[in-house]
Amino acid sequence: MSPVSFPCGLTRREQVWQMGAGFAGLAMVDLLSRDGFFTPHARANSGNAPGSARAPHTAGKAKSCIFLLMNGGPSQVDTFDPKPLLDKHAGQPLPADKKFINSGGRKMGFLTPSFRPFRPGGKSGLPVSDFFPHVRRHADKLAVIRSCHTDSHAHGSALVAMNTGKTFIGRPSLGSWSVYGLGTANQDLPGYVVMLDKRGGPISGQPNYASGFLSSAYAGTLFRPSGNPVLDLAGPVSREVQRQQLALLEQLNHQHMARHPGGNELAARMASYELAYRMQAAVPEAVDLSREPSRLVEAYGVGRTPTDEFGRNCLIARRLVERGVRFIQLYSGGGHLEETWDAHASIEKNHGQHAAEVDQPIAALLADLENRGLLDETLVVWGGEFGRMPFSEGPGAPGRNHNPYGFSMWMAGGGVKGGVSHGATDEFGFEAVENKVHLHDLHATILHLMGLDHERLTYFHQGRNERLTDVFGSVVKEIVA
């Protein structure tokens, strides 16, 4: 039965849905239109079709970004921020003037030295701990930011903030903003790919790689960590029949959009159907590691314990960069806290396991990108949602609690200076005290290196120009080459 429509062409349900608060806003719309308020936003979004490559704001060197996210929060004083005074003051309490929130009401122990020694790497002598001996060989490529800080001490909200800039869900992720601003160079592959740990997804799940109020076409596409990265690529019908089905569906959708203009989500869904069709041919080729030399596959640690999974994902990430994918995010650490970098019980046991899984693959990724001339145009980012405390959790509990006040992240390639450190935490590694870098500054810097001005990359939503960094953020120019 055909739905009963009003003379305007809308059904009764559509009429009620669309008229909410509309009458009260008519006068305001008229006044704003006379002032030309809506014109700039219409121009800003014209030609902004999902996936189409777009010119950057500036000449950023990074064409792609690979974000290596250590789910659970690695300890800065055990990885990239050496603190010799922890040895001197071992066994003493944290000074009383160091104020913090005791996440989860955990037991508090005493100042505890780094669990593994730091050694200088490369010509720069940048110190890297023995948890990362392979990465240390590439110290001259790294810009270590030792003064990061964030807004939450809880895993879920801190991880969402690291990805979206806010501690609450519903905002577009960094990858979504990147593809919204730049599009992708390959129309047969997603512009934003996410690869999870086989032990589970990130804490808080899908909101970490969602597109929020942007079109769903900019959301991250999940690649599975084992087996076929994307399921159901081989459909039940032939490619010719499938092409005919999509053509008919597209015709019907266009007819609907002609009667109901402004259907952004329908347009996104149409684009996703077409992308899925093209992915059926492009994805199997992109993830086929049999095309790689066996020596290179071995360098990534593929086929060996404990590096196989993360090594495979790193190698796939490099292949996706070669094929024009804009943003790739790799997670280390599963969805259950005991399977992440959340080292409450033992830094040595926890970080020893997880670092061993990722150290060799990350080093191989950096070397491979450099050898292929891709590192200069690929930004590699490493870090977690926060760091860890410089004290233990009590006698017999050689772990560390959450620390949002000061932690380390590093970047390499894509227009970044190598062999440098920026900022500093205090003498114990508790809080950032010099050249502090908030996560908004981190996001602004990543976008800047990709050629995007974080203040100009906006989306008009509910009467406001929204952006990843809200009304904050400054580019960390000291690490930009």
Integer Cα distance of 167 and 236 in angstroms: 42
**Stretches in the chain below the pLDDT threshold 70:** 1-51, 231-247, 249-251, 253-254, 256-258, 260-281
The number of C-alpha atoms within 13 Å of 318 and in the hemisphere containing its C-beta is 26
Q: Is residue 159, in this structure, part of any structural domain at all? A: yes
Distance between CA atoms of residues 207 and 188, nearest Å: 25
As beta bridge partners, residue 93 has none
Q: Is residue 10 part of a domain?
A: no
**Is the distance from CB of 148 to CB of 409 less than 8 angstroms?**
yes
- Provide the number of structural domains found in the chain: 1
Q: Is residue 182 part of a domain?
A: yes
Question: Each residue of 427-459: pLDDT tens digit?
Answer: 999 999 999 999 999 999 999 999 999 999 999
Task: Give the pLDDT confidence score for residue 52 in this predicted structure.
Answer: 78
Q: Is residue 23 part of a domain?
A: no
Neighbouring CB atoms inside 10 A of 201's CB total: 18
Rg (CA), the chain: 24
pLDDT digits (tens, 9 = 90+) for 47-105: 445 667 889 999 999 999 999 999 999 999 999 999 999 999 999 999 999 999 998 88
In a domain, 366, yes or no: yes
Q: What is the CATH number of the domain that holds 412?
A: 3.40.720
Report if residue 177 sits inside a domain: yes
What local confidence, expressed as pLDDT, does residue 317 receive? Answer: 98
Exposure string of 279-301, with b = 16+ CB inside 10 Å and e = fewer, is: bbebbeebbebeebeeebbebbb
Distance of CA 60 to the CA centre of its chain: 18
DSSP per residue over 183-202, as a string? --S-TTS-SEEEE-BTTB--
Residues 6+ apart with CB under 8 A from 367: 138, 299
- The pLDDT of residue 194: 97
Residues 6+ apart with CB under 8 A from 198: 225, 226, 309, 334
Please tell me the distance from the alpha carbon of residue 70 to that of residue 77, in angstroms, as a whole number: 15
Q: What is the pLDDT of residue 348?
A: 98
pLDDT at position 396 is 86
State which residues form the domain around 103: 53-229+287-479
In a domain, 29, yes or no: no
CB 140 within 8 A of CB 126: yes
Give the pLDDT score at 343: 97
Element (H, E) at 451: none
Residue 31 lies in a domain: no
Residue 41: per-residue pLDDT: 40
In degrees and rounded to multiples of 5, residue 432 shows phi and psi of: -70, 130
Residue with tokens 């290179």: 296
